[in-house]
Structure 1
Amino acid sequence: MSVSDLGAAGYLSYCATPKRPDFRVPEGAVDAHCHVFGPATRFPFAPERKYTPVDAPKEQLFRLRDYLGFSRNVIVQATCHGRNNDALVDALATSDGRARGVAVVGADVTDPELDALDRAGVRGVRFNFLKRLVDDTPHAVFERIAQRVQPLGWHVVVYFEAQDLATVAPLLGRLPGRIVVDHMGRPDVTKGADGPEFARFIELMERNQQIWVKVSCPERLTVSGPPYDDVVPFAHRLVTTFPDRVLWGTDWPHPNMETHMPDDGVLTDLIPRIAPTESLQQALLVTNPMRLYWPEEMQP
């Protein structure tokens, strides 16, 4: 395996030959956070993007899904494609119902456009607060969008860093419906899973039963590097404290990585460390994502 090749703007390309995971995921497991990028010749990247990723087409994503043993994907629109969800919709259309999507839309999105996204398999809308990736958007705009997607049964996905929690938390309290926080709220892992900073995020989830969280992206949070021992306690605490409100995803193809590209097989092998029992693994990988993205298939 080689991750030495640099893609556009110096970013590493995804690991093309990941290891076969030692951990066997349960039947029906969902990779609940991944992306498709381009190919740029067919789906150009947004002019306003803050980074240019390596092409990562749907065909490679679906091959990885099968190789790792997963059954389904939740594909999340990333900022490099802006508000043009065409690559996402195309991937959903060719997934044979095995993928759902999270889109990015603006305040000017029309009801027919939302309906079309819903028919395509979109089940959520993403709000990004990372200033290095997006320009500022007034919170009132996010509130209006959240209200508009409620009739469709969509949820809201939010992406922020731990230092921004105090600013974002009031907005989360005003948003209707379910809210999914990306990547554990990006904690500073040097401050410890039992420290006061992460405790504030735990308290937020305890107060607001509508908030779910993805225990994903150790490669972005780690200081020590693989095997991500410094990140495991954060994910483990969330999984064991909120077993019915956690999701897991690869974050493939891991955009913006400049020095370290994770092996998705290694990431999959982390799952039993953060969800140490079969019941926790079943909830994390099957029951919870199915409730959120394929509720029509759940037993009454």
Structure 2
Amino acid sequence: MSKPTSGHFTKTPGWLDWYAEPARPRFRLPPGSVDAHCHVFGPGDTFPYAPERKYTPCDAGKHQLFALRDHLGFDKNVIVQATCHGADNRAMLDALASAGGRARGVATVRRDVTDEQLQSMHAAGVRGVRFNFVKRLVDFTPRDELMEIAARIAPLGWHVVVYFEALDLPDLWDFFTALPTTLVIDHMGRPDVRKPVDGVEFELFMTLMREHPHVWSKVSCPERLSVGGPRALDGEAHPYRDVVPFSRRLVESFPDRVLWGTDWPHPNLKDHMPDDGLLVDFIPRIAVTEALQRKLLVDNPMRLYWGD
């Protein structure tokens, strides 16, 4: 994979570039596997970054994404609109157009989006919209506006993807449970893995999933959640093992409502940049049977994104 650049934009200081030479995974992915959470950034000289962005990434375009897809052994991608592009979905839509039917998209839209624009995005392969509640990444959007958007996409069969942090779940509960669409939660709601997997905080998340069957979760991004990090233990690599109990509990409790993705190119990481090949090797530690692996990587994303 070619090395990242930042075009004519200045990358946010301290942010790491994506890992340019990932290992080839030892874990053989099931045929038809989907990387259900990844992004494209720019390139900035073709698809400029949004003026209101909170960060400037390195370029990470469709060609690098598709090269990674093939290197890791995935068949398809779900490309999630990145906050650095705001509601300008052109980079994501361009990647969908180049994917030959092997990618679907999750867009960011505003209240002024027209029905014609929504229909055009649907034809291009968009199947959801993303609402971001992480304050350090986006400005606040009124919930009535978000609910209006959700009501407009529901007839298309789209879903809502949400990104938030665990401490904010009590405040967001009523909004999430009132949404008229399937709800997909990014990265398990970012649990604090220093706390017990059966503790009050994560149990609230489990209760949300248990009581509301329209809620799905991505069991992705151990590199963001781990305190221990990608350390080698006992002479063998066991990266991010403190995240395993949380991810595995969700996979085994809700096998038909979980997704997995690389999160390439891993925005907003400053401590270390993960090797995507090692992230793939994390999968059999959280989905320990072939049946669970197939649900996580093939059946669930195909039903949600290619079901029509």
TM-score (normalised: structure 1)? 0.96
Three-state SS of the structure 2 residue aligned to 1:8 is coil
Tell me which residue corresponds to 1:292: 304
Tell me which residue corresponds to 1:262: 274
**Is 2:260 aligned against 1:251?**
no
Tell me which residue corresponds to 2:234: none
Tell me which residue corresponds to 1:179: 183
Partners of 2:141 and 2:167 lie apart in 1 by: 18
Tell me which residue corresponds to 1:98: 102
**Is 2:21 aligned against 1:17?**
yes
Tell me which residue corresponds to 1:39: 43
Tell me which residue corresponds to 1:281: 293
Partners of 2:198 and 2:19 lie apart in 1 by: 33
Three-state SS of the structure 1 residue aligned to 2:105 is strand
Tell me which residue corresponds to 1:206: 210
Partners of 1:271 and 1:220 lie apart in 2 by: 16
Three-state SS of the structure 2 residue aligned to 1:59 is helix
After superposition, the C-alpha distances for 1:236-265 in whole angstroms (9 at most, x for unaligned) are 000000000000000000011112100000
Displacement after TM superposition at 1:195 (Å): 1.2
**Is 2:70 aligned against 1:66?**
yes
Tell me which residue corresponds to 1:8: 11
Identity of aligned residues (%): 64
Runs of 4 or more consecutive aligned structure 1 residues displaced over 3 Å after TM superposition: none
Q: Cα RMSD (Å) of the superposition?
A: 1.6
Partners of 2:266 and 2:282 lie apart in 1 by: 16
Q: Which runs of 5+ in 1 are unaligned?
A: none
**Is 2:227 aligned against 1:217?**
no
Partners of 1:68 and 1:247 lie apart in 2 by: 17
After superposition, the C-alpha distances for 1:72-114 in whole angstroms (9 at most, x for unaligned) are 0000001100000000000000000000000000011111111
Displacement after TM superposition at 1:138 (Å): 1.2
Displacement after TM superposition at 1:184 (Å): 0.4
What letter corresponds to residue 12 of structure 2 in structure 1?
Answer: A
Match for residue 169 of structure 2 among 155, 165, 188: 165
Partners of 1:283 and 1:9 lie apart in 2 by: 38
Three-state SS of the structure 2 residue aligned to 1:267 is helix
What letter corresponds to residue 258 of structure 1 in structure 2?
Answer: K
Alignment of 1:43-58 (within 5 A): 43-58=47-62
What letter corresponds to residue 182 of structure 2 in structure 1?
Answer: R
Partners of 1:9 and 1:146 lie apart in 2 by: 32
What letter corresponds to residue 11 of structure 2 in structure 1?
Answer: A
Partners of 2:302 and 2:133 lie apart in 1 by: 27
Partners of 1:195 and 1:224 lie apart in 2 by: 19
